[in-house]
Amino acid sequence: MGTALVYHEDMMATRLLWDNSECKIECPERLAAALGGLQQCGLEQRCLYIAAREASEAELGLVHSPEYVALVRRTQTLGTEELQALSGQYDAVYFHPSTFHCARLAAGAALQLVDAVLTGAAHNGLALVRPPGHHSQRAAANGFCVFNNVAIAAEHAKRTHGLHRILIVDWDIHHGQGIQYIFEDDPSVLYFSWHRYEHGRFWPFLPESDADTVGQRQGRGFTVNLPWNQVGMGNADYLAAFLHVLLPVAFEVTVPRVPLTRGSGSRGRCRPHQSALPTSHGCCRC
């Protein structure tokens, strides 16, 4: 087993067809630069390459409404003016005649990566995709994102592979509110996001991006937001957040609690203390 790399050159087909200063940064060159960096370092050649496939409409329907999927499908036949008008109905989004194809490839790449890891074909992996996904919601594109690739992959892992505990770590300058909304009442998915917030003055300007949003109903406690209110956080800040917030929370929620029976001779797993590193813990004997 090695590291899988899931990618397809068709995902570079979409590009902005009109002038928009906000959306112009989501361009094919972003994906080309990422792939080029892997090639220059000799990492691409060491990976198990998997050509991305399109996600089916049934797979998209794991988290998106049929009406929204149909709307995105119709963009294949729209002219530039119609695409611009439709894009204007959403926040920081543009559509292209190739958007439906590219977005299905992006979602499909995430599904293939999940399948490769969970079937043992790969130990871990990376999916290089565009459009991105973490802002899109059940019935709305948002923030360059069309289909929520990570949410679709998580739901696929639950339904196809029987996973009961999933951790999504969203390490991005922007809060992935789309993932949060999709799983906010689902206790099987722990969503952890660290993002620039500035007391609500940074996009997407949502109060629910703050630390006091923790999920609701059965999912209460399974949403963890770490909002950066100060600009200029460095490596030490991210490392501290990783070691002292993310890892303790992740182990608390995702490590199965095995009942310990006295005199049984069985070996149980103890939960790590909140402030300790996972490598500092052994197991207890009963």
pLDDT one-digit tens code per residue, 9-44: 999 999 999 999 999 999 999 999 999 999 999 999
Residue type, 286: C
Of residues 258 and 236, the one with the higher pLDDT is 236
- pLDDT for res 254: 60
Domains along the chain with CATH numbers: 2-256+272-278 (3.40.800.20)
pTM for this structure? 0.87
Residues annotated as part of the active site: 135
- pLDDT for res 109: 98
pLDDT tens sequence across 266-276? 333 333 333 33
